Structure 1
Amino acid sequence: MPTTSARLLALLSLLQARRDWPGSLLAERLEVSDRTVRRDIDRLRELGYPISTVKGPDGGYRLEAGSNLPPLLFDDEQAVALAIALRIATTAGAGIEEAATRALTTVRQVMPSRLRHRIDSLQVTAVERSTAHRVDSEVLMALSGAVHAREELRFDYSGSDAPRRTHPHHLITWGGRWYLVAWDLDRDDWRIFRADRITPRTPTGPRFGPRSLPGGDVTAFVRGRFQGAETWPCQGTVVLDLPAATVSRYTYDGVVEELAQNRCRLTLGSWSWRSLAAELGKYDAEVEVIGPAELRTACAQLAERYAKAASDEPNTR
């Protein structure tokens, strides 16, 4: 039987892996008795982990989101990924640079020496963005919250004398800058606002119903405003399991729309479908192709080509 500390870490790792765990299944996975699982659950609760009891024939446990941040558990790959992401975030242009630097220092200090060596040996040079268009993280949070809640948003806009009253619909990035796509209530028209010029007013206003953008697509709308009618001959849309702030750092000719904290919609163009499919690989994330069908076909063709390249079998052609 593993030591108590090792068993607690294993139990916590299991609780983080799925929403609900029957007590008997936890006991089976840890190779201990149900009574030992109950005692270990109580120990984790004493350490600050919000673990609730799930009712049912077998009983069970659930790790809830808590108001306080107890000790976190990461495996080696997760810890390295977190450190790299924090290093990149120091130049994200979203007003989190100082906090990211402090967080990176904290994470590195608690890492085992073997992981610190891996992080230090990986040299990542992040080029600082101009501070002229940097957006405060609180502003981004306020805009994102209003978009998802569909609540009327009032804000002061630099260069405008009167406050703006809007129905915010999309928070996007274009060319490394953040923008809010919204229906301007006073001008009775769609507008694109630079987020670095917005100072939100509180509280937000009443909820509103969804409104269709001209053309029905935020990407086409934004491209039309910024680029005119000229576009790439091949254009596709995907969903990436990455934050919009991360994707925007590597996207200078596309539209990135925030969907959730760690998911975004990306629309890119290229001179061919295969080159567009290959371009998606640089983001190193799970990709869900929204369309069109030509992009899906190109992804499948590249997958087959790369599988052959990775095979040990010699190419006989």
Structure 2
Amino acid sequence: MNPGTGEDTQGRDAPLPFQKLSKTRWLVRDNDPYDLEKELSMHYKFLYGRLYNKDRTQKILENVEFGVKFNQEIRTYMTQLISSPKQEEKNKIKCVKLRCQALLQEALKQVEKRLPDSVDIFKGLSFFNPHKLLSQIQKGHFEDLPCLHLTENNFDLIESQYKKINLVQWSEEEPFVKNGIPKDSLNFWLGVAKHSSFKELSTFALTCLITPASNAIVERIFSLVAAIKTKPRNRTQTRLLESFVRIQTYLLGNKICCKEFRCTNKMLYLHNSEILYSSTGKTANIEEEREDEKSFLEELL
């Protein structure tokens, strides 16, 4: 950087600080649909219970649950008054309560407005959790599963496998003998995918689990793409960009720091200019590209 170019030039040449690309990472990282569905339902019921009675009638202002801290502050304020509380002070407290009640009502309205479809999706995804799936009581019906259109031509086969899956002693199967049955859906179905008798069902379940179920997931993908495909990398092809996103998502999801990542010789061999950039007008062999990317990802995982 040339010091004689002035402050403006220095500001342009100086490296930009790291930016927090997403404020909603906690919504999409290390969260199981089964737990998310319970959390969302609990949050809605919590807000509803603060404003409404069990018979669905609205609570009077004095019975609205503003919280212990709020009530303590009100009592402290009242006791600090030298004389007996005047009507003016009571009106001020009532005004504050009305505003807080309106805030809770708006919060409930916004949650109810945004979550109906998502709640149904999360509830359907929760049936893939091994806690429910392997239970004779909590297991859902096949028609209650989400995204049934993804079964395509294997509808009957996948339905048959779904009905049989809880008949297998999975704790004695090879993927789960050592560490037991995972509690989260993703690792469970990754293990089931190694069982040849449930290949189609596991593929369907994993496809449903990676389907974006909230705006936060989609926003996170856009943030990753924007961070990866910068101006110097503008020629990066779509397939390679997809691989980068998958790799970075895997590292973030498993809490692996990039400093700890070590490339194998096979990765370096596959990471060449032919898959990085398109220097000719010729169309590459799609099957060969997929095989190379598959090998690259297998080496990583």
TM-score interval, smaller chain: under 0.3
Higher strand content, 1 or 2: 1
Higher helix content, 1 or 2: 2
Larger Rg: 2
Q: TM-score, normalised by structure 2?
A: 0.26
Q: TM-score, normalised by structure 1?
A: 0.25
